[in-house]
Amino acid sequence: MTSASQAPRRVVNRTIVLWDIDNTLLYTGGAGSLGMRRAFRDLYGVEDAFGRVEFSGRTDTAIFTDAARERGIPDDRIGAELPRFIDAYVRHLATTLHEVRGHLMPGVREVLAALNEYDDVVVGLGTGNFRRGGELKLRHYGIDEHFPGIVGGFGEDSALRDDVIASGIRRLASGDRNGHRVVVIGDTPHDVSAARANRAYALAVATGRNSVEELMACGADAALDDLSDVERVIALIRG
């Protein structure tokens, strides 16, 4: 007879939902890029360091690295400079969020509230944002309560979005992904490819630069114009 202490631990199947932030959950009106420009100016005396750097779908580490290299910062110094840049950026972001006008994307608040009703759904972030920057954005737009502890994968985890999503899965699955469904929600081909690289369901939304057709063509499992059809979104998330 097997005692309670010897009984195998029951594995609870859950759905892990990793959200991108910019142009998926919300639009900041450019507060993030403005904060980065000011931070780089303060640290390195360059006014528009990001003028030729692509932002869409990329991690903040990759964005900073491109600007740093272009301005002559040696590769072996970039890692050491990153914490200084994050500190300066977060200070400016706290201000720039109030200087420009942004908004939540359609359906976001309703979808997050609906997901709260399911005990087997765990919500986190799979974002290129630095963690502290992402937290500021969520708080500013009043949805931080839906992301307790601000857990997931973040821009400082890696320059590569595939690795960011892997980090988010590992943290929300407590290291054991077996039995869990993982859904990545994002607006760019980078989100889709990162989901596929991690064997996750890629739910794409055309609330950024890319159309539904473009997102489906790059491998999304489903693509929507936005998240306003809450019932459909929940059905896709829960599979």
pLDDT digits (tens, 9 = 90+) for 33-80: 999 999 999 999 999 999 999 999 999 999 999 999 999 999 999 999
Query: 56 vs 14, 131, 182, 184, CA distance in Å?
Result: 30, 17, 23, 17
Can you give the pLDDT at residue 174?
87
Can you give the pLDDT at residue 12?
58
Is 0.75 topped by the overall pTM?
yes
| Domains in the chain: ranges and CATH | 15-28+103-238 (3.40.50.1000), 31-99 (1.10.150)
Question: Phi, psi at residue 199, to the nearest 5°?
Answer: 55, 40
Q: Which residue has the tokens 């944002």?
A: 129
User: Among candidates 165, 184, 168, which has minimal Cα distance to 222?
Assistant: 184
Count of C-beta atoms within a 10 Å radius of residue 121:
18
3-state secondary structure of 102: coil
CA-derived radius of gyration, the chain: 19
**pLDDT less than 70: residues of the chain:** 1-12
Can you give the pLDDT at residue 175?
77
**Which is it for strands 181-186 and 26-27: parallel, antiparallel or unpaired?**
unpaired
